[in-house]
Amino acid sequence: MNISSKILNVLLILLLPVGFVSCGANDYAGGGIGGTGISVGKITAFGSVWVNGIEFDTTGAQIIKDGVSVLEVVTDDKEEPPTYLRRGMIVIVRGEFNLDGKRGTASSIEFRDNLEGPISAVSINLVNQTFEVLGQTIKVDGVTVFEGTTDLSTLVDGNIIEVSGFVDANGVIHATYISLKAGSIVEYGSDIELKGTITALNEIPGTFKIGGLTIGFSSFDTTFEHMTISDLQDGLYVEVKSTTGVSGNVLIASEIELEEKGHHVEVGHEFEVEGYVTFVESVLIDGMFELEGQSVQITSNTIFENGASVADIVVDVKIEVEGKVDAFGVLIADKIEIKSGDDGDSDDSSESDHVENGENDPS
């Protein structure tokens, strides 16, 4: 937690009444708080775009893929998925939220994958439904959407895949979307890509790690975007691109781009985010935890759905939080839902109507 968050913790401890409120879903009047904001989660259906249980009107919305604005038309045709968006992709939706908590209007929808690269040799484990790509462990489950193939058993060593998913406290990527891009690196006509946090920086010989993979860089062969080579330090969140690939267990970086791990939510704006709790210190005392790189504050007004309580907020539990961001950049939670079911996904009848019988599944 940053210093501002710690100061806020002290203030809230002094101001909050003892204990936290735990209510059922029916106690949450209106279902949403409305206004301008951001929703971060996976696409669950089309006919417009559904994210975190909200149906977003996409008329005139800007579609952004890997930082580039692309031409996209999202229609009400549930049989024909859009060109660039797919069910299962983790996206950032910016726009307006209706007070009913069920609908909104998107001004932009941004998709950023976790990685794009080759499956490591002898890493596919069909029992645990895991495999490795670029030193990162990928976990598959019953809600993972596949494109270009059907399931993990149809993938082989060396296949180039794109992965989108939620990252837990151990760095495991719980894949919600996997796309088979090419059969091998020889067939692949694009850069290998990996996003993550720098650790173990060693300026000489010019290496650092993302997860279990070593990245090699130099002032001569590596281009730096939104940063310089002297800005490199442990803790930075970056995207690494490579045209060379892995050599001697080292990914040779052709480009390193500084990326923001947060989502730049303005003070007072609504923020809805789904993901795994990655840090909890003393949530029963101060009500603070971290989710998807975002500090979250539970207050006496926070409503827990489906019989959950503050005691259920533990590392690696999957949740959805709705609230507004304060002047310290902390998300003040109005509502918390602990996800249930396969990989933490709860059933939503309003969405399931759009995806039953395989509708909108692009695979």
Task: Map out the domains of the chain as residue ranges.
Answer: 192-258
Which is nearest to 258 in space by CA: 241, 275, 276, 246?
A: 241
**Which tens digits make up the pLDDT trace of 175-230?**
999 999 999 998 998 899 999 999 999 999 999 999 889 999 999 999 999 999 99
Q: Which H or E run includes 14? A: helix 3-15
User: Is the N-terminal amide bond of 205 cis, ω within 30° of 0?
Assistant: yes
Question: Which amino acid is located at 193 in the chain?
Answer: E
Whether the CA torsion 313, 316, 322, 327 is positive or negative: it is positive
pLDDT at 355 over 80: no
User: Is the N-terminal amide bond of 118 cis, ω within 30° of 0?
Assistant: no
Query: Tokens at residue 336, please?
Result: 């918390």
Provide the whole-model pTM. 0.83
Query: Tokens at residue 201, please?
Result: 């920086």
Please give the DSSP secondary-structure letter assigned to residue 265. P
Looking at domain 192-258, its CATH class is mainly beta
The strand pairing partners of 60, in sequence order, are none
Kindly give, in sequence order, each residue whose CB lies less than 8 Å from that of residue 260, ignoring residues fewer than 6 positions away: 237
**Which tens digits make up the pLDDT trace of 122-139?**
999 999 999 999 999 999
**Which tens digits make up the pLDDT trace of 43-97?**
999 878 999 999 999 888 889 987 788 866 665 555 555 678 999 999 999 999 9
